[in-house]
Amino acid sequence: MNRTGSETPIRIEVEATGGTSVAAGDRVRCGQDLGISPDFSERVVCHADGLVEACVFNPDTHRFEITIVPDNAKKE
């Protein structure tokens, strides 16, 4: 995927203990549950419709790092 300077991917971290309900390549909808917040205080939801570009486990923080490209992002 080619990106322009105006595109801003959404990056979200969720606690790995509870896992995440998405994987790279998945379509997500605004309000969709992604997992539990790193401080275990609440559920984390997606802020926009889009495509999950990456969902990677970070062993140093014990979190999943989710990158979502919003549907309204411009493409070259």
Give per-residue pLDDT as tens, 9-67.
999 999 999 899 999 999 999 999 999 999 999 999 999 999 999 999 999 999 999 99
Q: Which two tokens stand for residue 66?
A: 């989710």
Q: Kindly compute the dihedral angle of the four CA atoms of residues 48, 22, 55, 1, in this order, to the nearest 10 degrees.
A: -60
Q: Domain range holding 47?
A: 10-70
Q: Residue 43 falls within a domain, yes or no?
A: yes
Counting the structural domains of the chain, the total is: 1
Residue 47 lies in a domain: yes
For residue 51, tell me if it sits in a domain.
yes
**Does 4 map to a domain?**
no
Q: Tell me: the pLDDT tens digits for 51-74? A: 999 999 999 999 999 999 999 865
Give the domain CATH number at 33: 2.40.50
Q: Is residue 45 part of a domain?
A: yes
Tell me if 36 is assigned to some domain: yes
What pTM was estimated for this model as a whole? 0.83
Of 19, 13, 22, the residue nearest 53 (C-alpha): 22
Task: Please report the beta strands in the chain, taking only residues with DSSP state E, as ranges in sequence order.
Answer: 10-15, 27-28, 33-36, 43-45, 50-58, 63-70
Residue 52 within a domain: yes
Any residues with CB less than 8 A from the CB of 60 and at least 6 apart, and which? none
